[in-house]
Structure 1
Amino acid sequence: MAGLRVTPVHRHGQARLYVSLPDGRSVAWYDRDTGHVSLLLADRRDEVLAALRPYVVGEPVVGPPPVPTPADLVRLSLHPDDDLAPNRPGEALLTELERYGSVHRFRTDPRRRELAAQQLAGAALERLEAAGWRVLHSVPLPGEARIDHLLVGPAGVLTIRALNTGRHRVRIADPLVTVGHAAPVPLLRGARHEAERASLALAAAVRPVLVLVGADRVELGPPEVRDVSVLKDTELPDLARMGGVLKPADVEALYWTARDRRTWLRV
């Protein structure tokens, strides 16, 4: 009984508790909205109910699961340790800062500004789910690289890099990005490379986006930027109106492929 693991998942309007064995195999899930426990292994009934007891109010209805959708099948086969969906915006930075105790102690740590940008952009992207978008945060790539945010929805697949501009003027001269009086940095080149790696991993077209968080104003100079979308964070809600590329079933299939950590090992 002690070996069963309960993992809460609240995504896309569903609040569920998944019960799995130590090796990651699912044995049941509890749907908080319906109060139904879908039992995959009948001989584990008592153990499952005991594991769920701290989380369940009242007497749940226990029975076999409904006929699974393709998304359910993927979810059930995905080990919790390989599931990227629970990642918070800035997950990698949060882990680093918490490890060294600098989340609150070192307010001048530049990673704090980077984290703030990812959290603000991430919150805006999560609000797009009502328009049929799916988002993942802090997607790990080989070599300790990360994609800040991966967005999958009606308008296709987007890799999103968030840049904290500190309310300065931002000048774009492909591939260079200059914030205030700081030295220019070839951020557009990095954004393109992330999109290329994501395209290879997902076997799908991926477009890069650079989000300027808190920019005072943006100046686009020659050469013109054609293949990287440059947006202010205030423009992210406009993505909800874009579409015409992926059907809902395609969005779900790509999202479930992307949330598996193993998908990204080959890029």
Structure 2
Amino acid sequence: MSGLRVVPAYRHGRERLYVCRTDGTTLAWYDREAGRVNLLGADDGDDVLRALRPFLTGPVTVGPPPVPTPAELARLTLHPDDDLAPNRPGEALLVALDRDPGPARRLRPDPRRRALAAEETVGRALEELEGAGWHTLHSVPLPGGDRIHHLVIGPGGLFTVHALYARRTRVLVADPMITLGRREAEPLLRRLRADADRASYALTAEVRPLLALAGPAEVTVTAQPRRVRILQDAELAGLARLGGVLKPADVEALHGMARDRNTWARL
């Protein structure tokens, strides 16, 4: 067979090289990251490998496409408007600031921008966990106008993560109260536990709350808070060392459920 074309494309953030006939019919695709050539027809293997030879970067497995898992099938049937996976860190705040940026000159900094800076800092740190088998969702909407800043799902379990701007500020933790500098204390940990409980109900799985402090000068904890893990943004990479709670298939299934907006609308 001659005249085969190799066409690069990206699907779900991964590069694929498609091998096509001149009429556009796809015969196979090469997934570099997985090191696999997926053949749609067993009789075309030799011709496909000849066409791909200049592009192969190492040993490859050749065979039919893998059967999609139930989680993958659910994702493929999810309407784009209901898919939370594309949300950026601080998505809700970005939309709110775009609609109403506020006055050009302010006597005090817009608190929304500080909150956005915290969510972006924490969100970037959590996304670094992807290579360790974790998934992160941002700005998960809850009924009543509330939202979960970040939801992380991985081998170490599920966490609702609340990002708190604390740049160069002393933080005092006295469960359930959080005090930033000289500001008035607020019962933030009570809210975090409530959000985790709501997520547990929605996903029918244990979800633990985590408070992520963005850039604090000092953190003082009077006593270990009940159920709530407290980390600075620079410490979030340590979550990658957690494991033994969820298998990869469970992680994918829970991620597929959590990314569906309708999962949260039922709360």
Structure 1 match to 2:120: 119
Structure 1 match to 2:87: 87
How far apart are the structure 1 equivalents of 2:112 and 2:191?
A: 18
Structure 2 match to 1:55: none
Instruction: Report how far residue 260 of structure 1 moved.
Output: 0.3
How far apart are the structure 2 equivalents of 1:36 and 1:260?
A: 33
Instruction: Report how far residue 72 of structure 1 moved.
Output: 2.5
> Gaps spanning 5+ residues in structure 2: where?
1-8, 27-37, 42-63
Q: Decide whether the 8 Å contact of 1:170 with 1:215 is kept in 2.
A: yes
Q: Decide whether the 8 Å contact of 2:203 with 2:254 is kept in 1.
A: yes
Structure 1 match to 2:266: 266
Q: Identity over aligned residues, as a percent?
A: 55
Q: Decide whether the 8 Å contact of 1:171 with 1:177 is kept in 2.
A: yes
Structure 1 match to 2:69: 69
Give per-residue Cα distances to partners, 1:221-260, cap 9 Å, x unaligned. Answer: 14x3131001111110011111110000000000000000
Pairs within 5 Å for 1:184-223: 184-222=185-223
1:35 aligns with 2:18: yes
1:255 aligns with 2:255: yes
Change (3 A) 1:111 1:210: same
1:128 aligns with 2:129: yes
Instruction: Report how far residue 36 of structure 1 moved.
Output: 6.0
The one-letter code matched in structure 1 to 2:186 is: V
| Structure label with greater radius of gyration | 2
Q: How many residues align?
A: 222
> Gaps spanning 5+ residues in structure 1: where?
1-7, 16-31, 38-44, 50-60
Change (3 A) 1:200 1:158: same
Pairs within 5 Å for 1:29-178: 32-35=15-18, 66=65, 67-102=67-102, 108-178=109-179
How far apart are the structure 2 equivalents of 1:63 and 1:105?
A: 60
Question: TM-score scaled by structure 2?
Answer: 0.76
